Amino acid sequence: MLISLEWLKEYVEINEDVKELENALTMIGQEVEAIEEQGQHLDNVVVGHIVEYGQHPDADKLSLLKVNVGEETPLQIICGAPNHKLGDKVIVAKIGAVLPGNFKIKKAKVRGVESCGMLCSEVELGMGTDGDGIVILSEDAPIGEDIRTHLGLDDVIFELEITPNRPDCLSHIGIAREVAAYYERKVKYPASDIRTLTGPSGIVVDIDDDKRCTRYSSRILKNVKVEESPEWLKRRLKAIGLRPINNIVDITNYIMFEYNQPMHAFDHSKLEGSKITVREAEKGEKITTLDGEERELNNSELVIADEAKAVAIAGIMGGKNTEVDENTTEILLEVAYFTPENIRKTAKTLGLSSDSSYRFERGIDRDNTLVVLERASSLIQSITNCEVVGEYADVYTDPYTPREVSMDINRLNKFVGKEIELDTVGKILNSLNMQIKNRGENKISVIPPSYRNDITRSADLYEEIIRMYGFENIEDKMPVENIKAGVVDEEFQTTDTSKKHLRDMGLQEVINYSFIPRGILEKLKVEAETIDIKNPINEDMVTLRPTLMYGLLTNIRDNFNRNINDLKIFEVSRTFTKAETLADEVVKVGIALAGREERNLWDAKPEAYDFYDLKGYVESYLTAMGMTKYQLRRTENKSYHPGRAVDIFVGREYIGTFGEIHPDVAEAMSISRERVYLAELELAKVVKYGKTKIKYEKIVKYPAVNRDLAILMDRDKLVGDMLGDIKKSSNIIEGVNLFDIYTGDKVEADKKSIAINIVLRKTTGTLEENEVTAAIDKILGLIKKKYQGEIRQ
């Protein structure tokens, strides 16, 4: 938001220098991003008079001029602009001038002819946007006068960062209120002096959609003369970056930046009938807006319409069909209130934004429309000497109701950290145009003005008081508190510990979105009660994930597509399933292996990952988490390859699954290069069965006895179950390890040979041969009875 200091001084007395005012604005929350002092780059730029006009001898498009700048000898200047003639008063940058952009004016030769200066356009002077031709001054401009003096370019422009909750500060009067409150001064509101005609308003207003438009005020002005705006008005608009158009449009823009009230002027003669309707657009209705674009509406927009057509998109932009032009003699002024939600939605839908929509989106003062209507009518009449119809139309369907906000002074002081007297509080609130009612000892009710929609609770009042009291007036004081060390959240701690263990194992962490595409679970063969998002960002983020599988497989696929072939990744994140209230959130640990491990050995070929690589990582992780007692069972999970994946159980409680992904799932995810191995475990259950305390045991000094057995058994028997039973068969068995499985021509087709190593040891003494023999005999009996296995001969 650009604020002109010259303009601001019309509403509040300001004697402070620029630096002091900058500090004051920043301290009260209106942060100054930049300051531009107009005219600071216009040394040696003066008013000139073209006294001779000729053609450059070697260039048809260049003119050769003699320009009187108040010196003994006129300056010879070559100019390429098309819009000057003999006798014009112009702006001349003399030799030595340094224009904006560090453009230095020097004596130069243009096609062999000397030029001793330059005639300037608005763009070259940094005072406007018109660069098509040079600036032509009025005939009475004094020759040789400094251009800053002549044009009044002694203004200072502040660029302010206005927060979204303070739309009232998107105007000069809004900032004047802030400055006046800070310096304890009065705001000088502009007077409206109108000569009116007697008679009816000549217009009927019907608000058909009173949910999105709660007030519409309008008035007719007759015998209007549309022409160029006076210099003071053009200078004000240019100062804040606006291009002057004509006196009527310029005044509506001036009012918007004066009062923060967008308004619009219609050519009354182009309106059909005497009725204005605020209604919803018809499906497929078209309107050409002032920017020249034809726009098709879809029934959700709010429009202003006469008795035959839409003439404006409410709160955003007027229509070309009622545009004010040089032939306009009668206008209809509109000042209205449109709800922020409607304007925001319409602007986004149409991709159309304007200064008006920017303000309506943030909220304006709906109780101020008649004040603005009077002000605009007064300005137009003073400039054009038009006639103003005395009566106006004003439909107010939902009048503003002042609200009361309660505040406890003791709570304020506790919040601020300093005792602020009640009188000081009252003085600050009154300076901000807030009314105060006493509600008992140290308790008050505050009634904010209608333009302060952001004041809704006591905390908002605290902010107002602090910023006007001054942060610098609140002493630094350390709080006196009994500070105790906090306790780390248990879930955070276990999650962080899990990640550390997985990273230490050489896995790389990935982080995926919690959203997955609609219908992807069918491709993954996952059955779960899912939760869909009502307003998804896009079609790839529709459903909350019940599994980490989609994200991990996507990571694998995308890396394969980029020729990265050694993938060892993990993710520890939340998953979501539908519950009676909201969702069941479960933190899961996902591990994925794919591709071929790169070796650093000389001439070693990469080997593809297999099930046992993943099994090693899973078991290492479980061991690190203190979980050592669990069972592996062949899984029936349809997402995994049958026979190449297992479930992890502790007793009857399911912990997770790991193994090779089903080929159909891999194909559905466009992964065909290598097999993918994936594990997914529930972290809470891992923690539940993990030992958090480490128990140390003495090293057993007695020797171990090793026995190797080759067992012949049916192919469909599960070796893992047999190994578990062997381990539990005797208390002197320290370990059971599988080291070979053989199937081939040396054994029957439906058989397999299992080679296992059994480690036996006593902690209380050396094993005797008869103890070892008894233990082995018991193992062989178990194998024969339960698994129909026998020693391979």
Residues in binding site for Mg(2+): 454, 460, 463-464
Q: What are phi and psi of 275, to 5 degrees?
A: -125, 135
**Rg of the chain in Å (alpha carbons):** 42
C-alpha–C-alpha distance, residues 557 and 553, integer Å: 6
Tell me if 116 sits within 8 A of 77, measured CB to CB.
yes
77, β-bridge pairs: 65
C-alpha–C-alpha distance, residues 503 and 526, integer Å: 28
Query: 548 — alpha (psi -120 to 50), left (phi > 0) or beta?
Result: alpha
Token pair 């002197």: residue: 732
H or E stretch at 436: strand 435-438
Q: What angle do CA 705, 709, 715 make, to 5 degrees?
A: 150
Tell me if 784 sits within 8 A of 726, measured CB to CB.
no
Tell me if 361 sits within 8 A of 212, measured CB to CB.
no
321 Cα distance to chain centroid: 37
C-alpha–C-alpha distance, residues 2 and 4, integer Å: 7
3-state helix/strand/coil string of 311-331: EEECCCEEEHHHCCCCCCCCE
CA distances from 534 to 348, 349, 539 (A): 19, 19, 12
For residue 166, the number of C-alpha atoms closer than 13 Å in the C-beta half-sphere is 20
| Residue 781: count of CB within 10 angstroms of its CB | 11
Binding residues: 454, 460, 463-464
Tell me if 280 sits within 8 A of 301, measured CB to CB.
yes
Burial class (CB in 10 A: 0-12, 13-18, 19+), 61: exposed
E runs forming strands in 165-283: 196-197, 204-207, 213-222, 263-267, 275-280
C-alpha–C-alpha distance, residues 602 and 585, integer Å: 48
Burial class (CB in 10 A: 0-12, 13-18, 19+), 155: buried
Q: What are phi and psi of 607, to 5 degrees?
A: -110, 140
| DSSP 8-state secondary structure symbol assigned to residue 480 | -
Give the CA-trace dihedral at 317, 321, 324, 329, to 10 degrees. Answer: -140
What string of DSSP letters covers 259-275? HS--EEEEEGGGS-SSE
Q: Long-range contacts of range 493-497, CB-CB < 8 Å, 24 or more positions apart? A: 494/683, 494/687, 495/572, 495/587, 495/683, 497/625
| Residue 82: count of CB within 10 angstroms of its CB | 10
What does the block give as tokens for 790?
Answer: 């026998």
Burial class (CB in 10 A: 0-12, 13-18, 19+), 390: middle
Q: What angle do CA 134, 139, 76 make, to 5 degrees?
A: 50
Number of H helices, E strands in the chain: 21, 44
445, β-bridge pairs: 406, 437
C-alpha–C-alpha distance, residues 204 and 720, integer Å: 89
Burial class (CB in 10 A: 0-12, 13-18, 19+), 532: exposed
E runs forming strands in 566-700: 566-578, 583-597, 607-608, 631-634, 640-650, 653-661, 676-682
